[in-house]
Amino acid sequence: MPVQVQIAPAVKIAETTEYLSILKSRHSAAINPQVEGHITKIFVKSGEKVSAGTQLLQIDPLKQEATLSSQEASRAAQEANLRYARVSLERAQKLAAAGVISKQEFDNAQSNYDAAVAQLKSQDEQVKQQRVELRYYGVTSPMDGVVGDIPVRVGDRVTVATLLTTIDEPGALEAYIYIPAERGKNLKVGLPVRLVDDTGKAGIETQITFVSPQVETDTQTILAKALIANPQGKLRVAQQVRAQITWGTHEGPVIPVLAVTRINGQFFAYLAVNEGKGTVARQRVIKLGDTMGNDFAVLDGLKTGDHIIVSGTQFLQDGFPVAEQIQDAGKGSAVK
């Protein structure tokens, strides 16, 4: 039986492994309040673009305002005490100079004045602290970006652990890839990374930019990061993507996709083998790697230079005599 045969070429085959990765952003902030209280106003909507310093929400500040007023009143009272202590000290200085009062009485006046100064300074610091805390009741955006979901409503009571919203700044993302610890010896910065879609089509190409020096105790994996350019904003924070890491390349044979037969989960190919008395078709079990255009990379069962039968395989049986017609792999023409 005449068959077309292609000689298995030696090509550079990339050794790749695919992992599921999570996209995260260095330009994303989770907004939590720094104080507790009830929300009285919400100034923005989900999806709205805001700039740094824009007020997002208002937490009821009445209790804090009352505390600040009390501290300011205490400070005013202490200022009055300080004025009295100053007058008393000045009087004591004159009387001590005239020899009317003792040294101990003068020292007491000096001590009272110093204590009043220290007490006023303490009151000043408390007032400053209360004013700073009062600003925390107005929640503002820490950067330019887009407001995310706002799960809270007016009237809700929030604590410092409550997530109010998120602010995401469009831009580059990082792919968090968790590599099994046994591959740690091969993992290094600079390894090529390629994102693929659900159909296996290659997308963005990048490289490893960070490798964790530690192994995750629970999962026994190593965290690797790859910077992902996202100029059109098609990828989103927390999105799961498939990432292929290329560990290296080696030379090996490939086989045309149409020359491969699958039976009971195993892959087979027919080779034209000259056994001395003539050329016969021999069925071989092969182990396949990734696709490379119209070919499969062959990991086992085939070596460079083997004669692969690429036509009429559905009519062949193991040991069937064949007549070879060598096919030019580049042009597809037969050479007798």
3-class secondary structure for 87-151?
HHHHHHHHHHHHCCCCHHHHHHHHHHHHHHHHHHHHHHHHHHHHHHHHHCCEEECCCCEEECCCC
Query: What kind of architecture, by CATH, is found in domain 34-59+137-167?
Result: Beta Barrel (2.40)
Distance of alpha carbon 105 from alpha carbon 94, whole angstroms: 12
- CB contact at 8 A, 5 and 309: yes
pLDDT over 50 (residue 334): no
Domain ranges of the chain: 2-11+252-335, 16-26+169-249, 34-59+137-167, 62-135
Distance of alpha carbon 157 from alpha carbon 155, whole angstroms: 6
User: Which residue, 44, 56, 63, 35, is CA-closest to 161?
Assistant: 35
Same fold, 2-11+252-335 and 62-135: no
Please report the pLDDT score of residue 116 as a whole number. 93
Query: What kind of architecture, by CATH, is found in domain 16-26+169-249?
Result: Beta Barrel (2.40)
pTM, two decimal places: 0.59
- CB contact at 8 A, 89 and 116: no
List residues bridging with 263 in a β-sheet. Answer: 266
Q: DSSP letter at 34? A: S
pLDDT over 90 (residue 54): yes
CA distances from 171 to 145, 146, 175, 243, 244 (A): 10, 12, 13, 19, 22
pLDDT tens readout for residues 223-276: 999 998 877 777 888 888 899 899 888 888 988 888 998 888 899 999 999 888
Percent of the chain with pLDDT strictly greater than 70 = 96
- CB contact at 8 A, 140 and 47: no
Return the higher-pLDDT residue of 67 and 231.
67
Q: What is the mean pLDDT of the chain?
A: 88
253 φ/ψ angles, rounded to the nearest 5 degrees: -85, 160
pLDDT-derived band at 290 (thresholds 50, 70, 90) equals: confident
Task: Determine the CATH number of domain 2-11+252-335.
Answer: 2.40.420.20
Please report the pLDDT score of residue 201 as a whole number. 62
Please report the pLDDT score of residue 207 as a whole number. 93
Query: What kind of architecture, by CATH, is found in domain 62-135?
Result: Orthogonal Bundle (1.10)
pLDDT-derived band at 331 (thresholds 50, 70, 90) equals: very low
* Cβ atoms within 10 Å, residue 84: 13
List residues bridging with 251 in a β-sheet. Answer: 12
Q: Which amino acid is at 93?
A: Q
Residues written for the chain: 336
Return the higher-pLDDT residue of 251 and 111.
111
Return the structure tokens found at 336.
């007798």
pLDDT over 90 (residue 288): no
Burial grade of 171 (CB within 10 A; 0-12, 13-18, 19 or more): middle
Using DSSP's 3-state secondary structure scheme, residue 69 falls into: helix
pLDDT over 80 (residue 319): yes
- CB contact at 8 A, 155 and 1: no
